[in-house]
Structure 1
Amino acid sequence: MEIGIGLPGHALWSDGRQFVEWARRAEARGFSSVAVSDRLLWSTPEPLTVLSAVAAATHRIRLVTSVLLAPLHTNHLLFAKSILTLDHIAGPHRLQLGLAAGFRQDDFTTSGVEYTRRGAQLDALVGVLHDAFNDRAGINLPPATPGGPPLFFGGTSAASIRRVATRGTGWLAGTASVKDLIEFVPRLSDAWTAHGRVDSPRVVTAAMFAIGPDAKEAVRRAIGPYYAFAGEEWAQYGIDSALTSPDQITAAVAEFAQNGCDELILTGNNTDPGQVDLLADALGW
């Protein structure tokens, strides 16, 4: 199982240059990917902008949107051109697009995007991406990655499963437990096979972490406000399930690896780039 690292964009950051330093250190310490989350009505940085900066500062590490609120990008052709441009800046086989319909209604209402049609918007956008990746959208910019950057889809609905099975490389969960994997992946595999796909869908999931003497407090400060919209119980669950010690981290890595996870993205909750080195040390790298 590969291990990626998620940037702490949901935490209380103040210097965007820290994200680039996180990525440099992640590449130097051997992490497989650097991932960026997405949320509109929060201080979370815009994912494609961040990944453009990261692409310019690194050479090998994969760049992942985990996950992009795709229906908010209503000009599908412009979005496709942005993705193709980033694919060229990064170089072949580095960019991986995790896309989801989203579930925070206020992000859509504020944007003037009809919430109830977000799934249809996502499907339409994916169709335009497919045409653009195959040089059929009139952009005249073929992808740097042959066939275009691989698409991953978040969510566990029937529509999400359909998207993975028909258009995707795999499933990308912004957060998921081992129990979630055990319950969901067989459904996904059945749909994958039913659509005539060979091999297996790639399974990527994420877990929150912080490490060091103030790890628990860093998690509380970052996750509590970020998940407050979903209620106190959900926010507390996020805080309680975060990994805050080397022993918890190594145990979680082993458990995810044993239950069908192909890549685990460990998402930071302390903005200090030193967290990257502490995590690598905890993993024994």
Structure 2
Amino acid sequence: MEYGVALPTMVRGVEGRDLPAWAHRAEAAGFADLAVLDRLVYGNDEPLVALAAAAAVTERIRLTTGILIAPYRGNTALVAKQAASVHHLSDGRLSLGVAAGARPDDYAASGAEFGDRGRRLDAMLAEMRKIWAGGDIGPEPPGGDPEILVGGRAPAALRRAVAHGDGYFAAAGPPRTFAERAAEVRRRWQEAGRPGSPRVVAQAYYALGPGADAAVREHLGDYYSFAGRLADMMIKGAPTTPERLRETAGAFAEAGCDELVLVPCASGPEQLDLLAETLEEAA
């Protein structure tokens, strides 16, 4: 199982100059992937813009939107061009994770319809494939199209991953839930007659070091303030010690995870260093 780490774009108070430094440090630490989350009605940097900045200071690490809420971006051709541009600027390192999202306020702020977002995402993914295949909208993706990972919890999202994606990107949650969804995606993949196997990626929040518990409560309590009991579940499930983080990683590996992306609840560079040390000890 590979390990990725998310840029702390969602952490309140993170400074813009910290994000390229974090990206460079993550690559030097040997992580396979640098991911970024998406929201519109929140204080985060836009995901593809953030990854373009990361592309400029890295050479090897994969760059992933984990995930991009595509349907509130109404111009499919523009999204395809933006994604192709990041893929081009990074010499073919973009992995485009997409999902329909669950927050009506993001859609209201962009003037997009919420109720038919799944149907529109299906159409967007098919159109982006056609755009990348050639035509007037560039740049031409180097070394082939960006990988597409489809996220979401609903059965429609699992179907979408098989119909349009190269794999599945699971939302944060317990390993047992991931195992069930990953197994379902793999089953559907085989039934559809698709060659090979889908790449399945999981996500987990974490904080380490002094103040880790407080950082988790503050960050996830704020980010999931709309979610009631789900916020409490997320806080309880986020590892805050090396021992718990290694247990969590082991559980995801046993669940058949190809890559685990760790999402920091604090933005200090020590979070990246402590994570790398913990995972190295688990190897």
Would you call these one fold, judging by a TM-score over 0.5? yes
Residue 265 (structure 1) aligns with: 261
> Counterparts of 1:277 and 1:89 in 2: how far apart (Å)?
27
Q: Deviations over 1:11-63 (max 9, x none)?
A: 21241111111111110010000100001111121101100000000000000
Q: Taking CA–CA contacts closer than 8 Å with sequence separation of 6 or more, which of the two structures ends up with the larger relative contact order? A: 1
Residue 280 (structure 1) aligns with: 276
Structure 1 residue 176: Cα displacement? 2.6
SS of residue matched to 1:236: helix
> Counterparts of 2:45 and 2:138 in 1: how far apart (Å)?
29
What is the identity, as a one-letter code, of the residue corresponding to 2:141?
Answer: P
What is the identity, as a one-letter code, of the residue corresponding to 2:28?
Answer: A
> Counterparts of 2:222 and 2:19 in 1: how far apart (Å)?
20
Residue 100 (structure 2) aligns with: 101
Question: Do residues 155 (structure 1) and 146 (structure 2) align?
Answer: no
Residue 215 (structure 1) aligns with: 212
SS of residue matched to 1:275: helix
Question: Do residues 2 (structure 1) and 2 (structure 2) align?
Answer: yes
When normalised by structure 2's length, the TM-score is: 0.96
SS of residue matched to 2:64: strand
Residue 39 (structure 1) aligns with: 39
Residue 162 (structure 2) aligns with: 165
> Counterparts of 1:156 and 1:217 in 2: how far apart (Å)?
28
2:65 and 2:96 in contact (8 A); partners too = yes
SS of residue matched to 1:39: coil
Structure 1 residue 76: Cα displacement? 0.7
- For structure 2, which runs of at least 5 residues remain unmatched after alignment? none
Residue 121 (structure 1) aligns with: 120
> Counterparts of 2:4 and 2:260 in 1: how far apart (Å)?
6
Structure 1 residue 81: Cα displacement? 0.9
Residue 20 (structure 1) aligns with: 20
Structure 1 residue 158: Cα displacement? 2.6
> Counterparts of 2:119 and 2:242 in 1: how far apart (Å)?
43
Residue 186 (structure 2) aligns with: 189
2:208 and 2:275 in contact (8 A); partners too = yes
SS of residue matched to 2:63: strand
SS of residue matched to 1:144: coil
- For structure 1, which runs of at least 5 residues remain unmatched after alignment? none
Question: Do residues 87 (structure 1) and 87 (structure 2) align?
Answer: yes
SS of residue matched to 2:116: helix
The one of 173, 188, 206 aligned to 2:203: 206
What is the identity, as a one-letter code, of the residue corresponding to 2:264?
Answer: G
SS of residue matched to 1:283: helix
Structure 1 residue 198: Cα displacement? 2.2
> Counterparts of 1:19 and 1:243 in 2: how far apart (Å)?
23
SS of residue matched to 2:12: coil
Q: Deviations over 1:79-129 (max 9, x none)?
A: 11111111110112x100000001101111221111111112211211221
SS of residue matched to 1:115: coil
2:87 and 2:141 in contact (8 A); partners too = yes
What is the identity, as a one-letter code, of the residue corresponding to 1:282?
Answer: T
Residue 110 (structure 2) aligns with: 111
Q: CA RMSD in A?
A: 1.2
> Counterparts of 2:248 and 2:72 in 1: how far apart (Å)?
33
Deviates more, 1:155-164 or 1:97-106: 155-164
Structure 1 residue 224: Cα displacement? 0.3
Deviates more, 1:108-117 or 1:96-105: 108-117
2:73 and 2:110 in contact (8 A); partners too = no
SS of residue matched to 1:192: helix
> Counterparts of 1:124 and 1:113 in 2: how far apart (Å)?
15
Deviates more, 1:219-228 or 1:153-162: 153-162
SS of residue matched to 2:115: helix
1:135 and 1:141 in contact (8 A); partners too = no
Structure 1 residue 140: Cα displacement? 4.6
SS of residue matched to 1:16: coil
